[in-house]
Amino acid sequence: MAERPPLTRAHVLNVVLTYAAVASLWILLSDKAVEWLFSTPAQFALASTIKGWLFIVITATLLYAMLRRRIDQPTVSSTPSRRQLLPFVLFNGLIIALTAMAIAQNINLTQDKEATRLETIADLKGKRITEWLNSREFDAHILLENPLYGALYREAQTSHAGQADLMARLDEFLSIRRFSAATVLAPGGEVLWQTQGASGLNSALRNALASVSTGRITRVGPYLDEQGHARLDFIAPLPVTDGKPPLIVLQISSSDPLNSILKTWPVPDSSGEALLFRRNGEQIQFINDVRYRPDSALSLQLPASSKELLAAQYLRHDHDAQDKAIFFGRDYRNVPVFGTARPVLGTDWYLLAKIDEAELNRAVLKESIWIGLIGLLALFITNAGIVLLRQHTRLQMAEQVRQSQAGRLQALQLLSAIADSSEDAIFAKDLEGKYILFNRAASQFVGKSASEMLGQDDTAIFPPDQARMLMEIGRQVIASNRVQTQEEFLTLPGGERVFLATKGPLQGSDGEVIGIFGISRDITDFKRAEAGLREREGLFRALVEQSLAGIYIIQQGQLCYINPGFARLFGYGSTAALLKIGSLPALASAKDSARVAEQLQRCEQEDSEIHTRFTALHHDHQNIEMELYGRRVDYRGQPAVLGLLLDITEREQVEQALTRQASELRQQNNELERFNKVMVDRELAMLALKHKINELSLQLGEQPPYPQAPTPPEESL
């Protein structure tokens, strides 16, 4: 009967540490899993109770298995038993299950986040479209409510000067209100006068004239005119006192205003797109120019019966019940997409916000990879801890066996224990290339025990070409009598692996070479991580290089790095040509150069942020307006400024135009007020004169020529 080793402190410590590791991992991971999977207090309470029961069952089973193994296994076994594998199975199963749940939860959270973003974008752009339409109708109401245009129309019917005055007023109105052209129609619908660029009356507009009512603005379109251009009209009846009113048709002759609202997307480098569409009989008609098909407004139509078309799916659902619904389908490119739609208030239009499913999948995959890597790390740490504890136990038991069997060779036991405790493959070969030492890690790599490998060469475990390569390296080490280190790509039962192998001559007691020794470390994961890091670095560099915004790094006042987008903002074909200028203030205008230099210096020295606007000089000597963002960073061990540069020239021009228009309107209002005051003063003076004449007539005994002339206030005189 085999002798059973006594229970030692080491074994008790092994049991306690294993229990502590299991309890710690359970508390950490199970609480997170419960937070991810359950949201209501009742579900959380039930899950916590079940989690406590599972903890008792798992820890009790683990303690039983470890103590039973101690009782039933008096000697060291090289092959793990089922009881020894139980901690591995429990921990690995738990971590894999929690990782899978985390990935599933991440998929749902990512999809919900993208859905919320699309719903927000759809609501925002729908409101902007409605506001734009209301603004255009409000502009048309100015014609309807202002009696000046009715008076101008009556004058235009009697004289060419009146006609010229009316058209001049309309041209000014179109310029301020951003309409393309205007047409003046007689009450019967005949064209009287048109501004420059106005189109004729097509069937859509003529049909709409029959439904025009006094005091209301009628919107017609959008539709395609005779030239095939998108057109949207607003019909405004002029205010008249009698008869059927004349009409003014205000025309918007392109889809650019709608495109400018829809084309912007809050997430850069996204496949997201916002579309306007409506049902046109059995077709779905797209109102704006879609992103991937220029000049497609109103000409792009797809069948409403399509089962996969995203817009058709929305029209087939109950809009009230499904107003916040998210749909998976295909777009006009027949590309799988993910999106939502909203009706545009006051129209028969619908607004669709969508992104490609590939973009959604990339976001899910990116987060899932990180969760998977964390799970793998947890698996590695857990298994490494169990292996180390098991190795510690085996070493303790081996020491006890060594003490009970004093006849064994001490040096051989020590060498075997050291070799087996290593995670690297340790081996030795004789001069013929046959193995005389094969540690546990090497056995795990090749899937064979040390007893099977002793006396065998490399042909027993590797493909012929790899075996010949390894044996040739062994002969080179023996011939050169020096240590060599190289990477080896080997085929193992677990797949292709990469090892960093160090091999050297094995010498006997007399210094003669009797074989070789080797230590091989598995660096497969390191090589993969290194390749992944290079790939991510290349992706980040590609994003920076292709960005439309200017990205820069400034250190000690000098430009250290700029992306191609920065060079394009100033009209340069390459970054090298622009870097020769040296500094960003040198690109600014004379009035802004010193201010920009001062703010950049303060940002770099005081760890503050910079956000300013300045006028810069384009390569073609034109002024451009720039918006500068920056913050202090550490660049190569020294403080620097990293930031963005945006071209806001067009935005500044729009703001200046709006300011100029507001100033002109205020000036016109002041002129009208001054004119009214002059007319009132003149009338008061006439009343005073009539009163004086009446008084003189009475003094002369004559009848006053101005009967009932009121007495003007003395304050006015």
Q: Judge whether residue 277 has pLDDT over 90.
A: yes
Higher pLDDT, 590 or 15: 590
* DSSP secondary structure string for all residues of 611-677: EEEEEEE-TTS-EEEEEEEEEEEEETTEEEEEEEEEE-HHHHHHHHHHHHHHHHHHHHHHHHHHHHH
pLDDT band at 109; cut points 50, 70, 90: confident
Contact 389, 18 (CB under 8 A): yes
196's tokens: 């420059």
Higher pLDDT, 45 or 69: 45
Q: Could you identify the residue written with the tokens 């915004």?
A: 549
Q: Judge whether residue 72 has pLDDT over 60.
A: no
Higher pLDDT, 363 or 318: 363
Q: Judge whether residue 394 has pLDDT over 80.
A: no
Residue 354 neighbours by CB distance under 10 Å: 25
pLDDT band at 11; cut points 50, 70, 90: low
How far is residue 565's CA from residue 120's CA, in Å, rounded to a whole number? 30
3-state percent helix, strand, coil for the chain, nearest multiple of 5: 50, 20, 25
Q: Give the model's pLDDT for residue 286.
A: 92
pLDDT band at 178; cut points 50, 70, 90: confident
Render pLDDT for 533-566 as a digit per residue (tens, 0 to 9): 887 777 777 777 777 778 888 888 888 888 888 8
Q: Give the model's pLDDT for residue 303.
A: 92
Give the lowest-confidence range in 450-459, 550-559, 647-656.
647-656
Q: Give the model's pLDDT for residue 663.
A: 79
Q: Give the model's pLDDT for residue 9.
A: 60
Q: Give the model's pLDDT for residue 276.
A: 92
717's tokens: 């005189």
How far is residue 415's CA from residue 627's CA, in Å, rounded to a whole number? 70
**What dihedral angle (degrees, nearest 10) is formed by the CA atoms of 491, 493, 496, 500?**
-70
Question: Which of 248-257, 348-357, 521-530: highest mean pLDDT?
Answer: 348-357
> 519 - beta bridge partners?
426, 502
Contact 385, 79 (CB under 8 A): no
Q: At what angle do helices 147-158 and 160-177 cross, to 10 degrees?
A: 140
How far is residue 190's CA from residue 213's CA, in Å, rounded to a whole number? 17
178's tokens: 């951003």
Q: Give the model's pLDDT for residue 309.
A: 92
How far is residue 299's CA from residue 277's CA, in Å, rounded to a whole number? 11
Q: Could you identify the residue written with the tokens 């739609």?
A: 341
Element (H, E) at 340: strand 336-343
* CA atoms within 13 Å, Cβ hemisphere of 68: 11
Render pLDDT for 245-269 as a digit per residue (tens, 0 to 9): 888 888 888 778 888 888 888 877 7
Render pLDDT for 406-444 as a digit per residue (tens, 0 to 9): 454 455 556 666 666 677 888 888 888 888 888 888 887
How far is residue 202's CA from residue 223's CA, in Å, rounded to a whole number? 10
How distant, in Å, are the alpha carbons of 581, 694, 697, 699 from that of 702?
Answer: 95, 9, 5, 8
Looking at residues 365-380, what average pLDDT do you find? Answer: 81
SS (H, E, C) 543-578: HHHHCCCEEEEEECCEEEEECHHHHHHCCCCCHHHH
Largest CA distance in the chain: 164
Give the lowest-confidence range in 133-142, 211-220, 308-317.
211-220
> 274 - beta bridge partners?
353
* DSSP secondary structure string for all residues of 89-119: HHHHHHHHHHHHHHHHHHHHHHHHHHHHHHH
pLDDT band at 323; cut points 50, 70, 90: low
Residue 111 neighbours by CB distance under 10 Å: 16
Question: Which of 46-60, 65-79, 368-382: highest mean pLDDT?
Answer: 368-382
- Report the Cα–Cα distance between both ends of the chain, in Å, rounded: 138
Q: Give the model's pLDDT for residue 316.
A: 85
Q: Give the model's pLDDT for residue 353.
A: 92
| 247-252, strands of its sheet edge to edge | 191-194, 181-185, 247-252, 230-237, 218-224
Render pLDDT for 188-210 as a digit per residue (tens, 0 to 9): 788 888 888 787 777 778 887 87
Looking at residues 82-88, what average pLDDT do you find? Answer: 65
The single-letter code of the amino acid at 157 is Q
Looking at residues 691-697, what average pLDDT do you find? Answer: 81
Contact 271, 356 (CB under 8 A): yes
How far is residue 101's CA from residue 116's CA, in Å, rounded to a whole number? 22
Contact 633, 660 (CB under 8 A): no
How far is residue 261's CA from residue 258's CA, in Å, rounded to a whole number? 5
Cα 482 to its chain centre, rounded Å, is: 56
Contact 501, 518 (CB under 8 A): yes
Contact 484, 504 (CB under 8 A): yes
Higher pLDDT, 3 or 609: 609
Q: Give the model's pLDDT for residue 467.
A: 85
Q: Is the pTM of this model over 0.85?
A: no
> 184 - beta bridge partners?
193, 248
The candidate with the shortest Cα–Cα distance to 635, out of 543, 542, 552, is 552
Q: Judge whether residue 716 has pLDDT over 50.
A: no
> 486 - beta bridge partners?
501
Q: What percent of the chain has pLDDT over 70?
A: 85
Q: Angle at the Cα of 547 (from 545 to 550), degrees rounded to 5?
A: 90
Contact 504, 479 (CB under 8 A): no
Q: Residue 179: exposed, middle, or buried by beta-carbon count in 10 A (0-12, 13-18, 19+)? A: buried
Q: Could you identify the residue written with the tokens 């009539």?
A: 690
Contact 258, 251 (CB under 8 A): no
Q: Give the model's pLDDT for residue 2.
A: 44
Whole-number mean pLDDT of the chain? 80
